Amino acid sequence: MFKKLFTMTLLAALLIGSPKGIEAAAPYIIDRSALDKGIITVAGSDLNDTKAIVRISKDNNKYDYYLTNGAQYPLQQGNGTYSITIAQFLSENKYKVVSQESIELKMDDENAVFLQSIPMIDWNNNTKAVAEAKRLTSDAMSDREKTAAIYSYIVRSIQYDYAKAQSLDSGYTPDLDAVYDTSKGICYDYAALFAAMARSLNIPTRLAMGYEASAPATFHAWNQVYLKDIDQWVTIDTTYDAARVQNGQDTPMIKQAADYTITQIY
């Protein structure tokens, strides 16, 4: 449903330079104060002036993000040892490593990371959809009921934006207020909107990317939600279901996980 963009792929950038001995002179500092929530932030004097990336690696998996001031970066691959690499732009697809550190993550609740605001699910208490989520779920008694209320709102209210899907720039991330105001978006917008609304209600929610069985060549985004009452992650796809519901078709909220192939999770 959309192109593979920078924040959704394993960056093919060439990282130049040895990390040995660079920490003392590094222009960036990794803030570990929120490791109990599974996130880090990066501080630096030239964050607004220098194009840079942060690469978060664990085992054989790598996630790359543009480095921006104040952004929270998730350690979403569970407890264990992560390598954090910061690299500054040189030219074309080349970056120079300026800092590299290891972080040992030992969270009591590994699902806590899926409650946070991160670059592709950027929300706070002033986000319009967050206020809408509170209104929609004011009478809900369980996480499942809250999830169903958010799901129903999105699949009935948000229209797929075909023009946007064809015109996105590299590095696109959803503007949740814009999606809410226009009631239009692509699958990335649907999934980010759903995740922000559910996370704001303390429901662990993942934004997953990859492929769905009925369209195996189309890169797609959807959600996984942790329901405490059944102690299970369930799969929800508001994009495809919006098309079905808006065409008068019945469809179950919870999908078969086997129909989805995940390449990234946020």
**13-23 tens-digit pLDDT:** 556 665 554 44
> Given a cut of 60, is residue 27 above it in pLDDT?
yes
> What is the pTM (predicted TM-score) of this model?
0.92
Same domain, 256 and 158: yes
Gap between the Cα atoms of 130 and 197, Å rounded: 5
Query: Number of folded domains in the chain?
Result: 2
> 31 forms bridges with which residues in the sheet?
41
For the chain, the straight-line distance linking the first and the last C-alpha, in angstroms and rounded, comes to 18
pLDDT of residue 15: 64
Quickly list DSSP for 86-152. EEEEEETTEEEEEEEEEEEE--S-GGGGGGS-BTTB---TT-HHHHHHHHHTTT--SHHHHHHHHHH
SS3 188: helix
Average pLDDT, rounded, for the chain: 90
Say which residue, 24 or 133, is predicted with more confidence.
133
Q: Which amino acid is at 186?
A: I
For residue 8, pLDDT over 50 is answered with no
CA distances (Å), origin 138, targets 133, 151, 202, 213: 8, 15, 14, 36
Task: Quote the domain boundaries for residue 26.
Answer: 6-110
Confidence at residue 171, expressed as pLDDT on a 0 to 100 scale? 82
Same domain, 96 and 221: no
Same domain, 223 and 195: yes
- Whether residue 69 sits in one domain with residue 157: no
pLDDT of 180 above 80? yes
Q: What's the confidence (pLDDT) of residue 91? A: 82
95 and 149 share a domain?
no
> Any idea what the CATH number is for the domain that residue 23 is in?
2.60.40.10
Q: Pick the last residue of a domain from 69, 84, 110.
A: 110
247 confidence band (pLDDT: 50, 70, 90): very high
In a domain, 120, yes or no: no
258 and 140 within one domain: yes
